Amino acid sequence: MSNEIDFVSLLHKTQGYISQNYAAALADSSKYGQLRSYIEKYLHDTGYTVKDYSFRDLADRLYCEMAEYSIITQYLGRDEIEEININGWDDIAITYTDGRIEKAKEHFFSPQHAVDIVKRLLHHSGMIIDNATPMSQGHLPGNTRITALKEPLVDDDRGISVSIRLLHPSRVDMVQIVKGGNATKKMIDFLCMCLRYGVSFVVAGATSSGKTTLLNALLTSIPDNKRIFTIESGSRELSLVKVKDGEVINNVVHTLSRPSDNPTYDITQEDLVVASLRFNPDIVVVGEMRDTEAYSAVEASLTGHTVVSTIHASAADAAHMRLALLCQKRFPINFQTSLMQAGQAFPLVVYAHKLEDNSRKIMDISECVILPNGEREYHTLFRYHITKNELKRGKYKIEGYFEQPEIMSDNLKKKLLQFGVPQNTLEQFLVKEGDFK
């Protein structure tokens, strides 16, 4: 005869039973297989049941609570999920790769339960969060980035706030970008031409705006005999190695920075940018510029290397401002000089943005021209023009079109020709075609 009980009470009883009789199964992850058997034995012996749970589901849920990560286990490692946001113990939002954001149907039992589960998740990856260290950030196995905050950084009644970002190697190609309305074919072809023929550029935008996805897609256009050297921090999002019939057919070096408990042994993105130049690269790719590696990237571009990267910033002027500020951390020269060098090093800025309807667009591609007096002048080569943005019945409806307001400068044309672009390839971008409706 079954003995119905609520799940939280059963969990406490089961934990007490296991702790008293089989404590080693909780402390030693190699004995987790035995732990499942002990849980099933306890359920059989006691006859406990929980409404709406089968015996198997109940055993799985108890195991998940005791050995895994409670309700967030089901979301970890899934290809269709981009981010797990724990806003508080009773509020979990799941962001999918197609832009949907849905609230999880389940939540933790209490603020302390949420804290305990996140502590376990962090501990299994060598990180801690406690009263002395109420913020923890780093990387989990499976190419996952995590940032966690507990009280007093968040309110006591919320318990903990966590952002878990699942970093998937991009599966989006240039055809999908065009078909999905993120950009026009002409815009993508223009960027591919610049990338192949030596024009450094930076893709700017906020988190989840599609910066790395765009960069990954563009880099697949590079001929297989050209060497690409990529540099990323913590987790790898770029995936460029091509394999055919079991053989690697292109020329790619993927690298990751390596933090260390002893800062003396840190291998930073800046170190890898410097090292990359000794590999005779055709293109150096810095996954994201966020620190002093910006200075080395600017220097590399100014000395003739093709460098592409992403940066957290808005459109062109703001991106160069951010880049100059990062360079100042390494070499605090006159700020206007830093701004001029940033514009010279990265004459093109691609601004990617996630709109309110969760669509991602290349909002503009701008060229920075350095005038004789050192001032910067920006020209919008392509942009997305919004004609309608309405909220109806809780859903956004956005309409617009791409346009080509200006053509590239003579300086950019000259540089592309010097690096070998065919005249007929260049000419198609020297004629404005009006709106791409």
Quote the CA–CA distance of 296 and 274 in Å, as a whole number.
7
The DSSP letter of residue 267 is B
Q: What does the pLDDT look like over 51-66, one tens digit per residue?
A: 888 999 899 899 898 8
pLDDT of residue 142: 73
- The CA-CA-CA angle for residues 211, 288, 374, to 5°, reads 95
Give pTM, 2 decimals.
0.79
- Across the chain, what does the average pLDDT equal? 90
Rounded Cα distance between 103 and 83, Å, is 12
Cα end-to-end distance, the chain, whole Å: 69
**Higher-scoring residue by pLDDT: 362, 100:** 362
Percent of the chain beyond pLDDT 70?
96
Q: Give the containing element (helix H, strand E) for 200.
A: none
pLDDT tens digit sequence for 193-232: 999 999 999 999 998 898 999 999 999 999 999 999 999 9
Helix axes of 316-330 and 293-302: crossing angle, nearest 10 degrees: 110
SS3 184: coil
Of 178, 187, 174, nearest to 403 by C-alpha is 187
**Segment 244-263 mean pLDDT:** 87
Higher pLDDT, 430 or 259: 430
pLDDT score, position 437? 45
**Res. 139: pLDDT tops 90:** no
> For the chain, how many residues are written?
437
Query: What is the mean predicted confidence (pLDDT) over 89-103?
Result: 89
The most confident of 16-20, 351-355, 357-361, by mean pLDDT:
351-355
Burial of 170 (0-12, 13-18, 19+ CB in 10 A): buried
> Which of 276, 279, 288 has its CA nearest to residue 234?
288
Give, for 116, the enclosing helix (H) or strand (E): helix 111-123
What tens digit of pLDDT does each residue of 411-424 get? 999 999 999 999 99
Amino acid 169: pLDDT = 66
**pLDDT > 60? residue 165:** yes
Q: Rounded to whole angstroms, how far apart are CA atoms 14 and 39? A: 7
Residue of 215 and 97 predicted with greater confidence: 215
- Whole-angstrom CA distances from 186 to 197, 366, 402, 421 are 16, 15, 10, 16
At 434 the pLDDT is 55
Cβ density class 106-124: b for 16+ within 10 Å, e for less:
ebbbebebbbbbbbebbee
Bigger pLDDT: 376 vs 170? 376
Predicted local distance difference test score (pLDDT) of residue 194: 97
Task: Judge whether 49 and 3 are in contact, CB under 8 Å.
Answer: yes
pLDDT number for residue 140: 80
Rounded distance, CA 397 to CA 96, Å?
Answer: 19
Is the pLDDT at 2 greater than 80? The verdict is: no
Residues 6+ apart with CB under 8 A from 231: 255, 256, 257, 269, 272, 273, 276, 284, 285, 286, 287, 293
Query: Residue 261 — very low, low, confident or very high, per pLDDT cuts 50/70/90?
Result: low
Arithmetic mean of pLDDT, 157-180: 86
